[in-house]
Each structure stands twice: as structure tokens, then as C-alpha cells.
Structure 1
Amino acid sequence: MSTRRQFLKSLGTTFALGCLSSELQATILRHPSIKAIEGSWFEFQHHSLIEGKYWNPALAAFTAEQWDKKIKEIADTGIRYLVLLNTAIRDKTFYPSKLLPKHQLECEDPLETVLSAADKYNIKFFVSNGFYGDWTKSAFLMQDKQVEKLRLQAMNEIAEKYSHHKSFYGWYYPNETGIRGHYDDFFINYVNVSSQEAVKLIPHAKTLIAPYGTRNVTPDEKYVRQLEQLNVDYIAYQDEIGVEKTNVEESAAFFENLHNLHKKAARSKLWADVEVFKFEGKVYQSALLPAPAKRVIEQVKAISPYVEKIFIYQYIGLMNKAESPVFAGVPESVSLYEGLMKNHFLKK
């Protein structure tokens, strides 16, 4: 019996929310392979207007004081890393820029505000270097030289304005690649060009990517070589449960393969991007809603033995503390928050 099967057998495959015995709770707490959620993606506005319809209006109206409270609310869960999805979208930035016009939000400089709050509450931010150009055309954005020039200029501008913050931990490259057995060569180039600029600007900064197509990885020597070529510190693969490409029962095997591949390559650390959402209707064509906490717990349990850290997509819009003064999302977001806190998948 494989290690994975022994692990799942020892825990049981499912358990009911709110009905966990003290014995099972203790098993979860003391089992070294089950990890707490340490990080989350973060945004000022969701890139897809359809998907973000239940929280985009609230975020647009947040004042600087409210953003500070939201960062504190997140920090109070034990989350210590936030990944800013984008610093620009639809040809406007989320900070005062000389390169593009700025989104007109209630908060004058959201990026300054959240980094200042993160300084206070001990949060580490990965700051995005996108989306400069049409976010729906990721392959084009990664290959077009004019877009590349704008992206690198934005990195320079952002570093000049904000790298003094202790919370500016690293960079996130948001243009995603869909793995089809292996990485596209242009994706490797996009990552490496970005990292080359990143190290010039902030030598100590870490770097992160989050590819999809996790189930399609071909576990061979070519993939290992590509991992060796990728100049990036952390790769947080999407588990693709929320987008309905994979089910929980399959995901452990995919991450077990990735664990073995990353061990051979001995370069970037293997993290996970756990999708804590479901769609209100058709996938990619309807609003995002919080997934049941029971499903998310099973997602985390399945892949924990194989990854260094668990991140989620995402706290903003999909999770809220009850009676939060900075509520953004649907009422069901409280259930997800409480389910993960109660069962120690978030912890102080």
C-alpha cells in the first residue's frame, strides 16, 4: 500500500463539519503531514467581472481604514502570506503610476495602504507584475515585446515606490500557463526574464508562480529539466477542484508526482494553490461562491503530505469573519471561515 493510501486510510476519507470527535480533532492536530493554510491570494478588484460580482463593489468602496481592518482580519486567522493577483487590470493601475491611468477607487493608493497594514500585522506580500495588457490573452502577454517592456517598467516603478516596506516579500508572475505535459518554452522565458529583473530591483525578493494543468503533468526527465531551468523560488500548482477539472480523490496522486519531480530537480519549492470556491452556474461563466468547508478540508488533507505550504484562492470575497465591519462577499463566506477555523486549518 502506498504512503498516500496509508495516510488517507489512517484519517478516514471524509468527516462531517461540526461533528468531529475530539479524538479525530487531536489526530488532525498532531499528524505532521496535515498542514494549516498559510497563505491566500488577494486582490483589489477581481479580474473577471462576472466571477467577482459579489465582492467587487464592496472592495471598490473600501477606504484606507477599511483595507487596514481587512488585512488585520486576515492576519488574525494565522495567514502569513498574501499574493496580490494584479497591480493593474483593464489598462489601469491600482497605484499612482506614470505608465497608465489609475482605477478610481475610494482608496487613493490601495497598494501603499495594504503594504503598510501588512507591515503592522506581520504579513508577507508577493506583489504582482501584471496584468499589463488583456489578461484573457496570457500567451500573447508572455510573448509580446511591447507588453514585456511595459511589465518591466511597472516592476521598476513599483519597486521604487514600495520596496521599502518590510512586507514586500517577493514577486508574483500572474500570467498563467496551462501545462500540457510540459511547460511552453515561452512561459519559461517569461518567468526567467521577470526573475532577472526582480533580482536587479530587490536582490532578496522571493518569486512565485501558480500554473494550472496540474493533472496534465508528464512525470519524465524533460519535465525535471524544465523545473531546473525555471528561475523561480516557489511553484504553487492549482489543485483545480473549484474549476471542476479534478476531483479530490484524484488530486493526491497528481501532487505526489509533482513532489517526486521537484525532489529530482532540487530547485523551486513545491506549494499548493487550493481552490476554495465553486461556481454559481457554469464554470467561468458565473459568479464565484464559497465552497463548503468540508470539501476544502478534504482538499487540504489530500495534498498536504506532498507540499511545503498550502495557499488558498482566496480569502478576499470568499471568506469573512462573522459581523466583520469590512464584509465583502456572500453570507455563506462566514461558514467557510468558521469551518476552517474550528477545525484548525486556519490557526492563530
Structure 2
Amino acid sequence: MDRRNFLKTCGLTSASLLIGSDAFANPFSEWKRTPQIKPIMGSWFEFTHGYAPEGKYWNSVLPQFTEAQWKAKVWEISETGMQYLVLMAVANAGKTFYPSKLQPQYDYACSDPLEAILSAADECGIKFFVSNDFWGNWEDGNKLMTDSDVLKLRETAMEEIAEKYSHHKSFYGWYYPNESGLWNTIDETTINYVNRCNKVAKELTPHSVNLIAPYGTKSIRLDDNYVRQLEKLDVDIIAYQDEIGVKKTKVGYAGKYYEGLYKAHAKAGRARLWADMEIFEFEYDVYKSALVPADFNRILKQMEDISPFVENILVYQYMGIMNKPGSSAFVGHPGSTKLYTDYMNWLKAQE
């Protein structure tokens, strides 16, 4: 079961891309310089949200994005100082988001959104982790990790994607989006899936830096067995989900989990430790309604809690949850501009 199933069940120079001189004219006085808190360094990025009720505020808009708007969104994100983007999926529900010989393509206004975002990332210096899935039903993560036919399709797709897009300097690495929950430890299915994906990734793109983002963080038993399983897992970066947005963890508690993970990773000597921090809440019922922006005071506490133990903080996610005021590529909840402004005012106070 991956995050998508988890949430459901358990070079442009347009003036609109530039930060205007008055964008931070009235920063909120409460945002003080807090050097112990790490800034947000990246975000997940998607062409559609797999579970429609959660993507209520952006799923109907993204298919209408032009090439210029996809590029504008990448530039907009780069203006926040974020350096990494993690592409959720290159395919979904039997269709692809790029021209492929393997499945039919979604009918989007932009003929190749993947090319558009990588081209923009080349220009502004963003590094992309490019997904290698979903080549089947995203809700059945176990099948996607174990089915031999899906495995062959995924690896063929990785070859196709590498051939078409790995020349981009922004193609930093791969993201393997299918993970089972870390109940007590890392299960063998996850280890086999990740290690097979990483073997293919390194053969196709030898210098790639590759990432996973498992959930179940609070349920991990950080004992010697976990360290042994971690030693077996062949991946460069693990960005554990803090699970605040899905209310599996309370604000102020996540830090103790990351402290334990920090010690386990140091002992294992494997995988850089990052955070996948949730900046959303649910509009109504948890798991049954739209994702909407969380209050920045909550998010700042999350950042403070996690910062001492992780190398970088990534968020789920900028798309739909944050928007620069006046964005030419606006997509998402109306409150997304306030979250953007609050975060940028805090960031400016750190200078």
C-alpha cells in the first residue's frame, strides 16, 4: 500500500514569474529568525491526484495547463528556494502523462507535460526525482511490487523514459512510489521491489540519486532488526512521511520518531535521511474529502520538530496546496496563496 492508497484508506521571463518588489512589504511580525529550523527544500509534484476526492481543487485544472503553465509552475516553485521535486507518477489508470509506446496517453492540453517540466527545471536549477510508476492500479501496491507482468512493463518503461528524458540535467534520479507500510520493520517485499528498481535505475542512469518515501513512521520498531533490514535496502535517500496531515501523528511528536530514525540510519550506514512533511489537512472528514492547506503555525512546528534529525525537508505538496499570489499557473485551494505568503514571509525573516 503506498501513500496514494494510504491517504485514501488508512527560462521564462514573464513578469508573473518574478517576485514583485512589494511581495513581502508587510511580513507578519511573528515570523522571527529561527536558524535552528531548516527551510523546505523540495516537494512532490503531480499531473493528477490518484484519489479524486482529495484532488478536488486541482484535478480538473491540471489537464488544461499549457506547456507555458507547466513551466511557470516549476519556475514558481524554484522562487521559494526549493531545489528538489519528486514526480508522483508517469502513468495512472492505464494511461501515461507523456508520449509512450506502452500505453495510451492522457488527453491534456500540453502534449508532453514531462518534457515541459524537465525543460523548465533545466533552466531554473531544480532537480527532479522521476517516478517509475504507476503501470497498473495504484491502489494495489502489493501487486505493483510483486506481479511479474507489471515488473516487465515498469522496467520497459524505465528504459523508454531514460531514453527520452535522461539527457535533461534536471533528471537527478528516480522515485519508487510503491511501498508497503513500515509496520515494525521493512518487509521483504519492499526490499526486493526497491532493490530491483534501483538495479535497473543504476544500469540505465549510473549517476542517478534515487528516493523512496515510506509511511508507517510512528509504527517502526527501531531495534537491531530494523537496522539489519535497512542495511539490505539499496536506495540513496529515504524520506519518511511525518503523517501529521493524515492525523496518524500529533504535532510535536514526530521529532522523537526522526531522532530514532537518525540513530538507526547512523548505525546501518545506509541511506540518507530526509523528511516527507505533510502540509495539508482534510477539508472535512479524514481520508474522505479534499486536501487543503494547513495553517502555517502548525507547519512551522512540524519543521522545528523534524529539523535536527534530517538532511532535507520535502513536503507533500506544493501543487494544489501552495500558490504564489497572481500565479499564471494557479491551481488548487483558494487558501493556498496565504500559505505561500506566510511561508515566504518566514523565509525572508531568515535572511
Calculate the TM-score normalised by the size of structure 2. 0.90
**CA deviation digits over 1:305-334, x for unaligned, max 9?**
000000000001100011111100111001
Counterpart check, 1:20 vs 2:23: no
Amino acid at match of 2:68: E
Residue 308 of structure 1: SS of its match in structure 2?
Answer: coil
**CA deviation digits over 1:63-89, x for unaligned, max 9?**
001111111111111011000000000
In the other structure, the counterpart of 2:248 is 245
In the other structure, the counterpart of 1:269 is 272
In the other structure, the counterpart of 2:171 is 168
Amino acid at match of 2:116: T
Residue 347 of structure 2: SS of its match in structure 1?
Answer: coil
In the other structure, the counterpart of 2:221 is 218
Displaced runs of 4+ in structure 1, greater than 4 A? 345-348
Looking at structure 2, the residues matched to 197 and 174 of structure 1 have their Cα atoms a distance apart, in angstroms, of: 15
Contact 1:77 1:346 in 2 (8 A): no
Residue 181 of structure 1: SS of its match in structure 2?
Answer: coil
> How far did 1:162 drift?
0.3
Match of 1:307 among 303, 307, 310: 310
Contact 1:78 1:346 in 2 (8 A): no
**CA deviation digits over 1:56-113, x for unaligned, max 9?**
1111100001111111111111011000000000110000001100011010000011
Match of 1:321 among 299, 317, 324: 324
**CA deviation digits over 1:139-182, x for unaligned, max 9?**
11111111111111111100000000000000000012211101
Looking at structure 2, the residues matched to 18 and 47 of structure 1 have their Cα atoms a distance apart, in angstroms, of: 36
In the other structure, the counterpart of 2:292 is 289
Counterpart check, 1:339 vs 2:342: yes
Match of 1:58 among 32, 56, 61: 61
> How far did 1:345 drift?
8.2
Counterpart check, 1:260 vs 2:270: no
Match of 2:129 among 123, 126, 130: 126
Residue 277 of structure 2: SS of its match in structure 1?
Answer: strand
In the other structure, the counterpart of 1:158 is 161
Contact 1:37 1:310 in 2 (8 A): yes
Looking at structure 2, the residues matched to 82 and 248 of structure 1 have their Cα atoms a distance apart, in angstroms, of: 25
**CA deviation digits over 1:21-56, x for unaligned, max 9?**
7xxx23x0x33xx21110100011111111101011
Looking at structure 2, the residues matched to 221 and 117 of structure 1 have their Cα atoms a distance apart, in angstroms, of: 44
Residue 206 of structure 1: SS of its match in structure 2?
Answer: coil
Residue 195 of structure 1: SS of its match in structure 2?
Answer: helix
Looking at structure 1, the residues matched to 349 and 212 of structure 2 have their Cα atoms a distance apart, in angstroms, of: 23
Amino acid at match of 1:341: M
Q: RMSD in angstroms over aligned alpha carbons?
A: 1.4
Residue 157 of structure 1: SS of its match in structure 2?
Answer: helix
Contact 1:239 1:274 in 2 (8 A): yes
In the other structure, the counterpart of 1:185 is 188
Looking at structure 2, the residues matched to 346 and 115 of structure 1 have their Cα atoms a distance apart, in angstroms, of: 31
In the other structure, the counterpart of 1:143 is 146
> How far did 1:18 drift?
2.9
**CA deviation digits over 1:219-263, x for unaligned, max 9?**
111100111111100000000000010011211111110010001
Counterpart check, 1:95 vs 2:123: no
Amino acid at match of 1:108: S
Contact 1:176 1:211 in 2 (8 A): yes
Calculate the TM-score normalised by the size of structure 1. 0.91
Going from structure 1 to structure 2, the CA distance change for 1:340 and 1:308 (only over 3 Å counts) comes to same
Identity %: 53
Contact 1:195 1:231 in 2 (8 A): yes
Contact 1:37 1:346 in 2 (8 A): no
**CA deviation digits over 1:5-28, x for unaligned, max 9?**
xxxxxxxxxxxx93427xxx23x0
Amino acid at match of 1:205: S
Structure 2 gap segments, 5+ residues each: 1-26
Looking at structure 1, the residues matched to 178 and 285 of structure 2 have their Cα atoms a distance apart, in angstroms, of: 23
Counterpart check, 1:78 vs 2:98: no
Looking at structure 2, the residues matched to 116 and 50 of structure 1 have their Cα atoms a distance apart, in angstroms, of: 31
Amino acid at match of 1:50: P
